[in-house]
Structure 1
Amino acid sequence: MLSHLRPAIVMIVLFTALTGVAYPLAITGVAQLALSTQANGSLIERDGKVVGSALVGQNFTSDRYFHGRPSATTGSDPADPSKMVDAPYNAANSMGSNLGPTSKKLVDRVNAAIEAEFAAGRIDIVPADAVTTSASGLDPHISPQFALAQTPTVAKARNLSETRVRALVEANTEGRFLGVIGEPRVNVLLLNMALDLLE
């Protein structure tokens, strides 16, 4: 019996050391050497202080800034931890809304978001990403159409010309990966940081 048990224990210890310690350490070391910025979260700093990540959206609410797409993430209610409340861009609780295309709740939420955009007078044409959430709820990007639709509001709030703000949006628009994969997009945090430099 012991002759069968001993090799099994040795194999468990060996493979635990290999796959649980050596392999993760090797991959972490390679990532730190080859892609240190990405491996450390693609953090963005300004004046030596971390202001966010290029991979996680932020909740901008002022008309002086471009807004990201809605976020479906939630968090604990401070008043009652047993309940969940909306917590936009809560990276600790990444998720989509999980509402299907036939969901009345989804249709009502999108219609309310469209009406809110029109009522606020921020945009004339509502792009899809202005009223729909991403799969993760943390998407840091918006479409160039959504960014350009917000240009008049941002320009007015900052007392800048629309032409200047539009040029900034175009300068911060990222193309398709390898020219064919994905869609053109604008990172909202990077755009807003560039916007702050205009003043």
Structure 2
Amino acid sequence: MLASFYQQEFIEAGCDEAGRGCLAGPVFAAAVILPADFYHPLLNDSKQIKEKDRFTLRDEIEKTAIAFAVAMVDHQEIDKINILNASFLAMHRAIDQLSLKPKFLIIDGNRFNAYPNIKHHCIVEGDCKYFSIAAASILAKTYRDEFMENLHQEYPIYNWNTNKGYPTIHHRNAVLNHGFSPYHRKTFRVTAPQLSIF
């Protein structure tokens, strides 16, 4: 894991999203500017970290970061513009909200819609390689998980408190048996689990 890509030369923000593969709820994204010498032994891709450690890391990131922001694109916007564009839009909204504008962006993944007047570099599995992307991964994941746990109170039948909207067998069966909630992404295909590959 590296502290930065260009942070010694430029103010650099790492960006990542959470919720891209879900059947319900918004996609969240975060942008984080960390000090050039930032280090934390637990920080990694959010999917590889235990839930309690993610929230501990979130507190540490928010206390230590030079700047950070979290944004979302809801399920209705996702249906209008597709999930890939929605993921990019969520990252743009997070960058918009940063209290300090970066000069360079490092993006998790292999594609991105360029942000106006800021150069970027896409890094496959960047959340396993750079602390600022990993930090953005933690923030996006924890804020989205909290959001889905709140929605679970309205629609407990889908078990969003545990699956967070991802297409588990229980979640897909609940949709097949009870239909969509108002928070489901209508453009996402839901079929019987044995017939579907996600």
TM-score normalised by L of structure 2: 0.24
Task: Please identify which structure carries the higher strand content.
Answer: 2
Q: Taking CA–CA contacts closer than 8 Å with sequence separation of 6 or more, which of the two structures ends up with the larger relative contact order?
A: 2
Task: Please identify which structure carries the higher helix content.
Answer: 1
Greater C-alpha Rg: 1
TM-score normalised by L of structure 1: 0.24
